[in-house]
Amino acid sequence: MGNTLAGLLVLADGTTVRGAGAGAPGVAVGELVFQTGMVGYQETMTDPSYLGQLLIFTYPLVGNYGVGPTMSQSARVRARGLIVHELVPSSGHRDSTGDLDGLLREQGVPALAGADTRLLTRHVRTAGVIPAALAVGRLAELPAVADLQAQARAFDYDAGDFVTECSTPALVWHPPARPEAPRVALIDYGAKSSSYEHLIARGAGVWLVPAQMPAAEVLALRPDGVLLSNGPGDPAHLSYAVDMVRGLLAAGPLPIFGICLGHQLLALAAGARTTKMRFGHRGVNQPVLDVATGRVAITTQNHGYVVDPGSVPATYRVTHTNLNDGTVEGIAHTAQPFWSVQWHPEAHPGPQDTHGLLDRFLRIVEEYHA
């Protein structure tokens, strides 16, 4: 963990937590959130949906099976900083190529170890997500608490466009396994690699599409279906993304499936509203009810905004709800193949209860292609 380093976390409300420093020395400012998964720390922290955030792991032991290239969901760690109770040295898992502390150092990400993560999690659950500043360095060189609090107070997560930061800058084409296979346009708002790997593994051709590409240019690719990916930030501030989805919806019966942020953008394009949650859903154990069948699935989720159920237009129906708090977890058009879910059916990490949703999407795409 680097015994010569100390760590200091200061929230915008003045709450202060000290501990050991880990990862890279420096200061990171972001929205403080917590994640409840017991495993999958590398997949979690490399998920682009955590851009702009400081991430608390509620499970007390983090790092015990190391890190490896097959587990990352993007090219680098996306969370701005980590807060853990105990940063454990790698025990040498067969798939690991290094340890978590080393990865954080390499990528310039600070971490606080030895923190009372239960206290911090309870604080976030009570007060809601809150800006915070994390400093790691030699004890005598750490910034003053007042300076870190000022940085935290100046940070406005809701005003940022984090999608532009993590979306592909150019169109990327992954050819299909067979020339006659369907082609999918995956709109990259911060897509996890497992999303397009799932489609490619099933033979589909996949365009990875920049988030700011206009709808007309997406349609010019002549895709057989569109997948709206997960991603970070407030969907209500992504007017260019909403306009693009609205243009796709207006084009007719082209199958469109939204995941996480993509779900929220589909809802906004359809005329619904989104609101910010107190502390969001971040973990691998969220129970979701299928309204039509009564079946329950345990899902992986990572979001801080939700679709307002009272704003869903009459042309759409709510298909899924969260059993913990009743929030909207899915919508579908009553006549067109437009639908979305709030969770991550591709998992990584998490249960694979709903992997079949991506297969269902591909079946609909294949029917459209035929």
**Catalytic residue list:** 260, 344, 346
Among 198, 202, 147, smallest CA distance to 178 is for 202
CA distance 198 to 253: 23
109 HSE (CA, 13 A, CB side): 26
Structure tokens at 184: 């999918």
Residues 6+ apart with CB under 8 A from 201: none
- Dihedral (CA of 156, 160, 163, 165) sign: negative
Residues 6+ apart with CB under 8 A from 297: 287, 288, 290, 351, 353, 354
Helix (H, G, I), strand (E, B) or coil at 3: coil
Q: What is the Cα 227 distance to its own chain's centre?
A: 15
Backbone angles phi, psi at 85, to 5 degrees: -80, -50
Structure tokens at 62: 């983090």
Structure tokens at 144: 């003053």
CA distance 319 to 293: 10
Q: What angle do CA 108, 111, 114 make, to 5 degrees?
A: 160
Q: What is the Cα 224 distance to its own chain's centre?
A: 25
Residues 6+ apart with CB under 8 A from 9: 16, 17, 18, 19, 54, 83, 112, 115, 120, 132, 133, 134, 135
Q: The tokens 């298909």 sit on which residue?
A: 319
